[in-house]
Structure 1
Amino acid sequence: EGYLQRTEHLHADWTLVREYPLSPELLALSHVWRSPDSAAYVVAAKGAPEAIADLCHLPAAAVADVLARVEVMTGLGLRVLGIARAAFAADGPLPTEQHDFDFEFLGLAGLHDPVREGVTEAVAECTAAGVRTVMITGDYPGTALAVAEEVGLDTSAGCLTGADLASARPEELAERVGDVRVFARMVPEQKLALIRALKANGEVVAMTGDGVNDAPALRAADIGIAMGARGTDVAREAAALVITDDDFSSIVGGIRRGRGVFDNLRKAMAYIIAVHVPIVGMSILPLFTSDWPLVLLPVQIAFLELIIDPACSVVFEAEQVDPQIMSQPPRPPDQPMFGRRVLAIAALQGLSVLAAVAGVYVWAVQTDLAGPTVRSVTFAALVLSNLALILVNRSWRLPVFHTFAQRRNPTLKWILGVALGLLALMLSVPGLRTAFGFGPVSWTQALVAVGGAAAGVTWFEVYKLMAHGPGRGPATPAATGSSNGTPTS
């Protein structure tokens, strides 16, 4: 069935005389054209079908017929525009309002705006990550619901229109916006009211938009996200972020990457806390054992710091994002980076390594080794423990061997290789050994140092298996929360 009848094509030689813009009071716009072969202006109008019907002063029966056709078209997921035309004498001034033209109703235009590839998968990933995706549109409720179902949004709570929001009491609005995922027939001030209502509910709101009418809501959202390719300058200036490819999947990728950076930063800081506990402990140990050999000299502490700094800035920065990170709910905005559980585990790691290294130190003293050799064995255990802490903290979910098998980190081999190579040189080259205050080390003593380093971190590997199983559970303890992020578009 044809919805457009008796329409004419515009010609290249027609001149635009005036535009009557869209307004909240009348969701329609009109263009006044001058044709060189006509003494009258041609006025073309398009907009919401009910607005066009109003401009044409259609009788009630005709309006009902138009709206019935609209329901059919929107049920198919089409965006529906009403089309009308009028003629106006060119020898007089143009009216100030569109209602002053004598419009003729031409018909309805159904536009299919296909969902971009990857949006359905991105919405599903958001849902799994605890991010509630809401669609805000100026289209009809039928169109909005059809598109929402196509992309996988939950439509069980129905659809709220701008008129519903305008008439709702504040407490009722706060309750409804917590459940509804689809909002239709929304004008700029209603979008702004919706963003404010979501924020009042404690939501963290990211708003996407590309038009001038989206600017107030973009500014009001916690994170305004403008489209870079088709977005207006006003929208881009109002937003905090600009998506250059206009792809919703890019937002999901940003969430994933942001969570990964936060997770890696948390693990790096936990490693720093853990590794400094044995360094401090072994530095002050001589205060209680004055007749035992001094363990750490300043040059040795400097060497340890040369391992710690690259490990934090290179290894953990280059660590791949945990595949399970998008299966966690978002953390509350007020949650500190280091919760008590994270700090407790970091401290326990440090204390266990301190106990293991101190055990190696006591063993070396009790076996009557020379002072420089005691220092060599203890320092080797401390360096190896440092490297072991790097390995176990790459993932707080996967055991070390699974992490090696499932994730590539090209910087790790360089850190391990350089640290082990320098340690071997310091313990085997006589000149370096003397400069660092070390003595010769036998293979048995080296194995004791290796065993001490392994003993200091083994408990954490057991903890991972008990708490999460082989490859399950959150990437980092205490990294989850109950707050919802809400991208809206």
Structure 2
Amino acid sequence: MTEIWSPEDRTEYLEQQPAEPYRLGTEQVLTVLRVDKGAGLSRREARSRLERCGKNELRAEEPVPAWRKFLAQFTDVLVVLLLAAAFVSAGLWLYERDAALPYEAIAIFAIVLLNAVMGYCQQARAEQAIAALRQMSAAQARVVRDGAHQTVPAAELVPGDIILLEEGDTVPADARLIQSTALQTAEAALTGESLPVRKDTATVTGEVELGDRHNMIYSGTAVTYGRGLAAVTATGMRTEMGRIAGMLRAAQDETTPLQAELTRVGKLLGLVVVAIAVVMIATILFVEDIQGVSALFDVLILGVALAVAAVPEGLPAIVTAALSLGVQRMAQKKAIVRHLAAVETLGSAEVIATDKTGTLTKNEMTVRAVATASGHVTVSGIGYAPVGQLTRDDGGDLDELLRSEVECALFAAEQANNAALQEQDGRWIVQGDPTEGALIVAARKAGLEAAALGNRFVRIAEIPFSSERKLMSTVHSDAEHQEHVFIATKGAPDVLLARCSHEFVGRHPRALTEERRNEILATNEELAGKALRTLAVASRSLPKDNFGSSAPDDAVEQDLVFLGLIGMIDPPREEAREAVARARAAGIRPIMITGDHPRTASAIAVELGIMADTRAVTGAQLEGMSDEALDHAVRDVSVYARVNPEHKLRIVQALQRNGLTVAMTGDGVNDAPALKAADIGVAMGMTGTDVSKEAADMVLADDNFATIVAAVEEGRGIFSNIRKFLRYLLSSNIGEVMTMFFGVVLIEALGLSGASGDKVVLPLLATQILWINFVTDGAPALALGVDPVDPAVMRRPPRPREEGVLTPRTWAGIIFVGVVTAVGTLFVLDASLPGGLVEGSGTLRYAQTMAFTTLVLFQLFNVFNARSDEGSAFEGLDRNAWLWGAIALALLLQIAVIYIPFLQKAFSTVSLSVCDWLFCTAVASSVLLLRELSKVVTRAMDRRH
């Protein structure tokens, strides 16, 4: 049926297209799609449908113009404040002309521009994720059109096209199978299923989850075995991958706690700046007798200059630098961060919602157990590396009888096998079916060598696996017994056992009794109860004359000799158990979200310590839950199995509604929406899809769950360091503000009013304030940002979501330091001037130089205070060489501005004597000693409570 549709027909198809083609028979699907299986669509009809349905590709949103992305970087409150500070600094330079160039304004503009460029580079993540999805699509597709096989661009496929698929092909569109020969597809990227899924044409009754629709194949998945014929049912954005792309586009980027807090601090500083400018101007006008427009302008400029000093100009740059340096350390630990501002979120994560396949497990099937007539054997080692031991269940060595049986079973399993084990770049990989690869690895662990076996046994025929027979057999000639052929068979235990008449005991067959058959079936149930996937193996020897030269049929799969049961699983990573334990010790709750079978998921979760019982919630159960019920369930449930992409997203959002900071790990296409919606998304670098990597904030280069925990530790360390330099910057700047404010308020008491004939006199000049910010807000603050991670951070619970970067205790310490700094600096100023509370004899310029130097030294001593709110400043001083280097650099710069003639002129300073330096140092050190005393009191109060 290749006739052209009328417009009414096409409209009817699009509106009534079967939403669940898996529930229709093959003939029904072909009827609905108006296509003949043998002839396919005509070229003319295909063009007509393409015009109506559109291309088979994922749509991308219109990109935001580059200039708009760039300008958007300047809308942050703190950035606006910095721009205002730059303009004020430039205005001061224009007014005073005290330097060749407005250096301060240039520096501030440079900081803003640097942050804008870095922010701009982070913008196109959503577009990149959609592009990665498009790249996964098959470039070409083989179809039946006009009764002939043709190759067409995959983008030109339309509903109703008949496509041909073979091993190695990428499925180009969603389609309903109408013919299948041992077809298997790898759907881990879409459903999370760790094993290739066997496909057939049988109609599925009832509504089932994506992973159980065995008669459907999906765009972007890969054919791993067999071949098939399918009718396209959905293309482009109507495919399952298209729906994920739509969800990915709809998911909104979440503001990280650090971003939110810095925005809040920025707004607070903005209000403080305005208040300081207003209060300062009002105070000067009230205290001093201001006359004339020029003097009034001086007051306005000085008030605004002080407000500029209150803004920590280096904050965004230092935050970025600290994050960047932390990111470099994380990269060395195989954690690659794509989104700087999200680094600290990982450190504050309370839940890690992790996929199972390829994340907690290696995504490499591994034989765990072999059961034969004489006992059970445990196989050690994980993954495809042929390294491991075979021991009895009780840990003892294998006796000769048991070893002989196990070798026979694994030998037959390796012969009935089409996979290949290879080592590439130091890593063992399997070409072919992962289950068959696992059998080869187990044979190598048992000492069976491929070369020796291949020289003796040569395959001469094969009876392939089919979903109807559930068996696979191979026929081999035997160089040592040339008159016989050897038949190896593997398959479903119940099916294979029914075809066996004997069982190997040692190397001799023994007739199978009914009692022994029941024992074997019970053993199979026992292995399955441990979430092991079981296969049975058997063999048979036939006279070569009886075999003949024609292709064998399944008659040779009768009167087999049962060799044993083999249990396998995609096992947990060796490091995963310890990583889970460390996460729990750090107050982080691991949750498994997977598309795998509930029994398998529960077994892995129990083994890793993610949960104590075997309770798992399935995707079907989630479908019946309201948001309220799910919000309640996520508080206790730790394993979710057989879930769809929508379920993962719902679970993450439910956890967030419970006030939890969620880190989501994953590797498949199906994980991308949840990765994007989570507070921080973590993708797998080795096995992860491009989509998951583009949607994530962080990528694990080694796909190791233990790396996530190491990244958590590093994230906590980075956040701790951010707190350190925030404490330092804010306490130092508050000290400057208090010094200036109270210096004006107490101008008479300090002797400033008679120190000069100027109408307006301040403790420090505007250029000196800006110099202090330049010297002390740069290198020392950055050095705090690279303080080594305290090992104790992983023994503390995560930072509560509602807790700010700066806690009330932190603010108390900041204000305390600011008060001590202001009092000490004004004391030195007073002691350097005639009159005032403390009699001195110096000039105004000398007194300002003394106060200037004392304030710098106060801030350098304060660097040590800022390392902790509770811990002593003297702990771990030798761990950060950068800190000592930064302090030495700041001192050298201050010495330069005091003694180099042209700098003396630029900053209105005079040379100081050794005694002057000792006096300034003694006074400035008081901030360290007094803060240490306050910490002792704080620790004592904490112990009481």
Please confirm whether the aligned pair reaches a TM-score higher than 0.5, indicating the same fold.
yes
Aligned to 1:24, the other structure's residue is in SS state helix
Residue type of the alignment partner of 1:367: E
- 1:175 match: 632
Mapping 1:408-487, distance limit 5 Å: 408-410=880-882, 412-427=883-898, 436-439=907-910, 441-468=912-939
Q: Is contact 1:123-1:152 (8 Å) kept?
A: yes
Aligned to 1:419, the other structure's residue is in SS state helix
CA deviation digits over 1:55-78, x for unaligned, max 9?
A: 99x9xxxxx9999545522555x5
Q: Which moved more, 1:390-399 or 1:26-35?
A: 26-35
Q: Is contact 2:617-2:637 (8 Å) kept?
A: no
Cα distance, 1:79–1:233 mapped onto 2, change above 3 Å: farther
Cα distance, 1:37–1:322 mapped onto 2, change above 3 Å: closer
Residue from 229, 241, 246 that aligns with 2:686: 229
Residue from 621, 624, 632 that aligns with 1:165: 621
Cα distance, 1:395–1:401 mapped onto 2, change above 3 Å: same
Residue type of the alignment partner of 1:378: A
Confirm whether residue 130 of structure 1 aligns to residue 587 of structure 2: yes
Mapping 1:141-290, distance limit 5 Å: 143-155=600-612, 158-162=614-618, 165-166=621-622, 169-170=625-626, 171-186=628-643, 190-215=647-672, 217-284=674-741, 285-286=743-744, 288-289=747-748, 290=753
Residue type of the alignment partner of 1:159: R
Q: Which moved more, 1:19-28 or 1:223-232?
A: 19-28
Residue 351 of structure 1 and its aligned partner are, at CA, apart by 1.7
CA distance in 2, matches of 1:324, 1:200: 29
Residue type of the alignment partner of 1:262: F
- 2:784 match: 316
CA distance in 2, matches of 1:297, 1:274: 20
- 2:212 match: 25
CA distance in 2, matches of 1:108, 1:136: 30
Residue 246 of structure 1 and its aligned partner are, at CA, apart by 0.3
Q: Is contact 1:79-1:140 (8 Å) kept?
A: no
Cα distance, 1:194–1:82 mapped onto 2, change above 3 Å: farther
CA distance in 2, matches of 1:220, 1:67: 46
Cα distance, 1:139–1:39 mapped onto 2, change above 3 Å: closer
Unaligned segments of structure 2, at least 5 residues: 1-165, 168-180, 186-196, 198-209, 216-222, 229-417, 419-458, 472-491, 499-517, 538-562, 757-761
- 1:11 match: none
Residue type of the alignment partner of 1:80: R
Cα distance, 1:451–1:238 mapped onto 2, change above 3 Å: closer
Residue from 335, 338, 343 that aligns with 2:806: 338
Cα distance, 1:115–1:150 mapped onto 2, change above 3 Å: same
Residue type of the alignment partner of 2:851: T
Aligned to 2:635, the other structure's residue is in SS state coil
Task: Please say which structure displays the higher CA radius of gyration.
Answer: 2
**RMSD of aligned alpha carbons:** 4.5
CA distance in 2, matches of 1:172, 1:199: 14
Confirm whether residue 296 of structure 1 aligns to residue 775 of structure 2: no
Confirm whether residue 362 of structure 1 aligns to residue 830 of structure 2: yes
CA distance in 1, matches of 2:763, 2:677: 59
The two structures have a TM-score, normalised by structure 2, of 0.40
Residue type of the alignment partner of 2:736: I
Residue 453 of structure 1 and its aligned partner are, at CA, apart by 0.8
Residue 280 of structure 1 and its aligned partner are, at CA, apart by 2.9
Between the two structures, name the one with larger relative contact order (CA 8 Å, sep ≥ 6): 1
Confirm whether residue 350 of structure 1 aligns to residue 818 of structure 2: yes
Aligned to 1:231, the other structure's residue is in SS state coil
Q: Is contact 2:776-2:856 (8 Å) kept?
A: no
Residue 132 of structure 1 and its aligned partner are, at CA, apart by 0.7
Confirm whether residue 72 of structure 1 aligns to residue 488 of structure 2: no
Aligned to 1:134, the other structure's residue is in SS state strand
Residue 31 of structure 1 and its aligned partner are, at CA, apart by 5.0
CA distance in 2, matches of 1:215, 1:436: 56
- 1:487 match: none
CA deviation digits over 1:104-130, x for unaligned, max 9?
A: xx9965224443243233222222322
CA distance in 2, matches of 1:129, 1:325: 8
Aligned to 1:179, the other structure's residue is in SS state coil
Residue 180 of structure 1 and its aligned partner are, at CA, apart by 2.7
Residue type of the alignment partner of 2:854: A
Aligned to 2:852, the other structure's residue is in SS state helix
Cα distance, 1:367–1:318 mapped onto 2, change above 3 Å: same
CA distance in 1, matches of 2:768, 2:781: 21
CA deviation digits over 1:228-266, x for unaligned, max 9?
A: 211234444554433221011222233233333333223
Residue type of the alignment partner of 1:43: S
Q: Is contact 1:80-1:111 (8 Å) kept?
A: yes
CA distance in 1, matches of 2:905, 2:184: 89
CA distance in 1, matches of 2:815, 2:912: 31
Residue 391 of structure 1 and its aligned partner are, at CA, apart by 2.0
Cα distance, 1:382–1:73 mapped onto 2, change above 3 Å: same
Residue type of the alignment partner of 2:874: F
Aligned to 1:402, the other structure's residue is in SS state coil
Cα distance, 1:42–1:82 mapped onto 2, change above 3 Å: closer
Cα distance, 1:460–1:132 mapped onto 2, change above 3 Å: same
CA deviation digits over 1:365-407, x for unaligned, max 9?
A: 33322114433332222111011122211233432221304x2
CA distance in 1, matches of 2:534, 2:645: 19
Confirm whether residue 400 of structure 1 aligns to residue 873 of structure 2: yes
Residue 359 of structure 1 and its aligned partner are, at CA, apart by 1.9
Residue type of the alignment partner of 2:212: E
* Equivalent residues, number: 430
Residue 190 of structure 1 and its aligned partner are, at CA, apart by 4.7
Aligned to 2:778, the other structure's residue is in SS state helix
Aligned to 1:133, the other structure's residue is in SS state strand
The two structures have a TM-score, normalised by structure 1, of 0.71
Over the matched positions of the two proteins, sequence identity in percent amounts to: 32
CA deviation digits over 1:467-488, x for unaligned, max 9?
A: 347xx99xxxxxxxxxxxxxxx
Residue 159 of structure 1 and its aligned partner are, at CA, apart by 1.7
CA distance in 1, matches of 2:494, 2:212: 12
